[in-house]
Amino acid sequence: MSSLWEFWRRRLLGLVSLGIGLGVAGAGIAAAGAPWWGLLVVGIGALGLGVLLRQWRKQFRRWLAFWMGDIAERLERLSQGLFSFRFAPADFPEEFRGLLERLNALVAQVEHELMRVRKLERVRSEFLGNVSHELRNPLFALRGYLEALAELPLEPMAQGFAQKALHHAQRLEALLTRLMELSQIESGAVRMRVRVFDLGELARQVLTVFEERARQWEVRLELQVCEEPLEVVADRERIEQVLLNLVDNALKYNRPGGSVWVRLEPQGKTVRVEVADTGIGIPKEHQERVFERFYRVRSAQALASEGSGLGLAIVKHILEAHQAPYELESTPGVGTVVRFWLRR
């Protein structure tokens, strides 16, 4: 497509030539003894030129709106992470081509950097998985020795040391297990076994796991669900893992006399799942990062300080593998709500 300047230059030259021609014609008619007819010709010509100029202006605006709309649509696709296309500068006027070529170069650079970041993420995930796997066997043997040692009739101090060492070995083994699970989920090695199951029944089983701990910490557990079965299409074991992690966090960061709710509500073709608590809450500056691996918000008010910082990272990857939207709302001193939606 030619430039906009060339488009307007040709039309303005034609317009000026036509105007001069009409003016000369009107002057000739007036000189021939018919001044009113000459003025009428000039007036009609001026009116026609004005109408023509107005039509050209409208046409130009329509073209400009079309080009800008096309650019805006493609930029929206870029904002959604779709970098597989490029602008075609030849389809636009010359005045746009320099901008579009720079946009193409920027898109190519961003795509290259994203591929590099994804490669680094994959390498890091594989490294963590390999290290966790290599450490698990010697740690399993160490835990076995410590269990045997803790069962021996030792002096009280030695018995206490053995019990503490065993406790920390068990924590480290749980951490390595979670690291391996996270690495497998991120790499796609774990396939989601999707099937239909009753989400309400699963939620009841999950809350049963935490009944004793909730009683010790004086936290009330409650399930809010309708009476009819709420069947969803998902990987039952992985969704169970999601609920276990969320309820576990809701208990850890609660306070004596607090509450934890699991709410299940049908919404059209989905079921909304909420795990809410009356705990200490999460400060605003931490809320965007709590789903990162190893990121923890430490607080002296929490009922438990132990944790790997991997629970919410596993939750995030499982929900993303299910293409399930999720969100977090939290107010310090009031509580936290994590909700997600599963297909029915």
Rounded Cα distance between 146 and 165, Å, is 7
Q: Quick one: pLDDT band at residue 261, thresholds 50, 70, 90?
A: very high
Q: In the predicted model, is pLDDT for residue 249 greater than 80?
A: yes
Enter the tokens of residue 128: 């963590």
The mean per-residue pLDDT over the stretch 257-276 comes to 91
Q: What is the pLDDT of residue 85?
A: 67
pLDDT > 90? residue 127: no
Sorting pLDDT into bands at 50, 70 and 90, what band is 56?
low
| CA–CA dist 245, 293 (Å, integer) | 13
Q: Report pLDDT digits (tens) over 77-108.
A: 776 666 666 777 666 667 667 777 787 787 77
Q: What CATH number matches the domain at 195-343, 3.20.20.70, 3.30.565.10, 3.30.428.10, 3.40.190.10? A: 3.30.565.10
Q: What is the per-residue pLDDT for 303?
A: 54
pLDDT surpasses 80 at 259: yes
- Give the mean pLDDT of the chain: 77
Pick from 310, 263, 258: nearest CA to 280: 258
Choose between 30 and 108: higher pLDDT: 108
Segments making up each domain of the chain, as ranges? 4-82, 195-343
Contact 203/262 with Cβ under 8 angstroms? Answer: yes
Contact 274, 338 (CB under 8 A): yes
Least confident of 124-128, 212-216, 314-318: 124-128
Mean pLDDT of 200-219: 90
Give the chain's end-to-end CA distance (angstroms, integer).
51
- Residue appearing with tokens 């009107």: 26
Q: What is the mean pLDDT of residues 15-35?
A: 60
Burial class of residue 139, CB neighbours in 10 A (0-12, 13-18, 19+) = middle
The whole-number pLDDT of residue 204 equals: 92
The yes-or-no verdict on residue 312 having pLDDT over 80 is yes
Pair of tokens at residue 48:
């026609």
User: pLDDT, tens digit, for every residue of 133-187?
Assistant: 677 777 778 778 778 877 888 787 888 888 888 777 777 777 777 777 777 666 6
Environment class of 156 (CB within 10 Å of its CB; exposed 0-12, middle 13-18, buried 19+): exposed
Q: What is the pLDDT of residue 299?
A: 58
> The dihedral of CA 152, 154, 157, 161: what is its sign?
negative
Cα–Cα distance for residue pair 235/197, rounded to 1 Å = 9
Q: List % helix, strand, coil for the chain (3-state, nearest 5).
A: 60, 15, 25
Q: In the predicted model, is pLDDT for residue 28 greater than 80?
A: no
Characterize the bridge pairing of strands 231-235 and 259-267.
unpaired
